Structure 1
Amino acid sequence: MQKHIPNFITLLNVFCGCVATVFAVLNKLEMAALFVALGIFFDFFDGLAARVLDVKSELGLQLDSLADVITSGLVPGVVMFQLLGMSQSGGWNLGKASFLDEAGVDWFSYLPFFGFLITMASAYRLAKFNLDENQVSSFIGLPTPANALLIISLPLILFYNGSDTINTIILNPWFLVLLTVLSAYLLNCSLPLFALKFKNLSFKDNALRYIFLITSLVMVVTMKFLAIPFIILFYILSSFVQEKF
């Protein structure tokens, strides 16, 4: 019976991804972000449960990636689709109907669909991850959950950290296109990144992980959702420094 526990937790991730997709399509991006975060929570604990119960399996590995394609791949793509649509329609309409329902919208404007490059890059990364036996204690390229958090942080920043300057930057189509391309690149680049997997509680053996977690907590407390892009940047830079030195 216990061998099914991690897979059930993974299926909860699938459920959260499905719910988040519905909210994202309806442009309820705050609720979509909530269910993505919940799905990532289950994504972390299914692996933890598998290790604790010693029931890791090939089925669990494949199921985990399929769940991530939805929660950390499809949903960020839909969110970016909506943000690019807002940039096209001249303002942010979070919580309202999709930009496709707005009167006078040019249905032949295809820019918002460029956001699904994130979904494509996420699926490609996850397929590679399943075939790579080296990504156990570290990652090659930005993990899909981290990338999902980066993308879903944008509407949350508009909600809770918004200002005229920040809103103008986030809803600039060139910024969103550049971020989409950067996101796709980071997902599949060859940059080694450390994993938040503690083999023990020793500070000496996990100094970088402790420093990262403490710094991230301070950022969240002081900057709220605006902290998330800076945390991702700090994650990449600290991994780069660790690799070089």
Structure 2
Amino acid sequence: MQIKKHIPNAITLLNLAAGLLAIIAIFKGYYDEAFLFVCLGIFFDFWDGFLARKFKVSGPLGVQLDSLADMVTCGVVPGLMMFVLFQNIQEDSTSIYYLTEDYFYMGFVPYLGFLITLASCYRLAKFNIDTRQTDSFIGLPTPANALVIMSIPMIQYTNDFEWLTTILYNPYFLLFVVILSAFILNAEIPLFSLKIKEFTWAKYKMQILFLIGSLLSFFVLGFVAIPLIILCYVLLSLISNKWAAKV
């Protein structure tokens, strides 16, 4: 029984370890590895809670560990990734955008990427004390937001959609993404939970169908599918909320 008690927390620490490895990968310029480590961290984030409920060992320590691990993997990592994306534009001699201090202190722009980290921290702290978010979310969960941010360099370098790549190299668009992320993480928008607590079709059919559809769209569109999936997630939640209000 004592071993069961520590398994979920050990998996949570694996989430944290994945986040740390993602940070190292970003510093080395291995953005594909950073993306995979974030995905791995989110995978661990799902299973730690699932196993804690399965083994009936949920507790305040696990809750705090989970938030601290998510803060790194889904807060620090995407903020750092956005900082680096801005810096890459700054250091690109062929770029038409001037982000250096010689142009109205625009060299400060890359640091605005860490607004994602600050907003993620606030969202995670708020989640821990918000009793409304037991079976659903209010505001975009940090893992979903992290996936969107981490998909940007993947879309840039795969170059499957040239027009989209051009947009993603625009610092003004990236700044819009930063502001939108900070807002939607903490917006009072009810979203259905993607965490399946028990594998029953009747209770989680929307989540199961959504996950299946997400996998299929990823295989068809590649990394471009990720922001589209998150957009559909928000829109589907809004439609679901409207439908529930009418019933």
**TM-score of the two chains, using structure 1 as the length reference:** 0.90
Supply the AA of the counterpart residue of 2:128. N
Give 1:157 shift: 1.1
4+ runs of 1 displaced by more than 6 Å? none
When residues 62 and 91 of structure 1 are mapped into structure 2, their CA distance, relative to the original with a 3 A threshold, is: farther
Supply the AA of the counterpart residue of 1:197. K
2:65 is equivalent to residue 67 of structure 1: no
2:44 is equivalent to residue 46 of structure 1: no
Quote the Cα distance in structure 2 between the aligned partners of 1:178 and 1:198. Answer: 32
Task: State the match for 2:143 in structure 1.
Answer: 145
Give 1:166 shift: 1.9
CA contact 1:27–1:82 (8 Å) conserved in 2:
no
Percent sequence identity is: 48
Supply the AA of the counterpart residue of 1:238. L
CA contact 2:46–2:195 (8 Å) conserved in 1:
no
Give 1:201 shift: 4.4
Quote the Cα distance in structure 1 between the aligned partners of 2:211 and 2:162. Answer: 31
When residues 132 and 177 of structure 1 are mapped into structure 2, their CA distance, relative to the original with a 3 A threshold, is: same
CA contact 2:159–2:165 (8 Å) conserved in 1:
no
Q: For 1:73-131, what per-residue CA distance to the aligned partner results, in whole angstroms no more than 9, with x for missing partners?
A: 00000100011112223379xxxxxxxxxxxx659611101000000000000010111
Quote the Cα distance in structure 2 between the aligned partners of 1:142 and 1:79. Answer: 19
Quote the Cα distance in structure 1 between the aligned partners of 2:196 and 2:72. Answer: 27
Secondary structure, aligned partner of 1:110? helix
| Paired positions, count | 235
Task: State the match for 2:81 in structure 1.
Answer: 79
Supply the AA of the counterpart residue of 1:192. P
Give 1:27 shift: 2.6
Q: For 1:153-179, what per-residue CA distance to the aligned partner results, in whole angstroms no more than 9, with x for missing partners?
A: 111112324443122100100100000
2:108 is equivalent to residue 110 of structure 1: yes
Task: State the match for 1:5 in structure 2.
Answer: 7
Q: For 1:177-227, what per-residue CA distance to the aligned partner results, in whole angstroms no more than 9, with x for missing partners?
A: 000000010100000000123355444433321331222122111101110
CA contact 2:11–2:44 (8 Å) conserved in 1:
yes
**TM-score of the two chains, using structure 2 as the length reference:** 0.89
CA contact 2:5–2:57 (8 Å) conserved in 1:
yes
Quote the Cα distance in structure 2 between the aligned partners of 1:229 and 1:170. Answer: 12
Task: State the match for 2:24 in structure 1.
Answer: 22
Quote the Cα distance in structure 1 between the aligned partners of 2:213 and 2:162. Answer: 28
Task: State the match for 1:33 in structure 2.
Answer: 35
2:187 is equivalent to residue 189 of structure 1: yes
Task: State the match for 2:226 in structure 1.
Answer: 228
When residues 51 and 192 of structure 1 are mapped into structure 2, their CA distance, relative to the original with a 3 A threshold, is: same
Task: State the match for 1:170 in structure 2.
Answer: 168
* Higher relative helix content: 2
Task: State the match for 1:239 in structure 2.
Answer: 237
Quote the Cα distance in structure 1 between the aligned partners of 2:197 and 2:64. Answer: 24
Quote the Cα distance in structure 2 between the aligned partners of 1:199 and 1:34. Answer: 24
CA contact 1:17–1:70 (8 Å) conserved in 2:
yes
What are structure 2's unaligned runs of at least 5 residues? 95-99
Task: State the match for 2:133 in structure 1.
Answer: 135
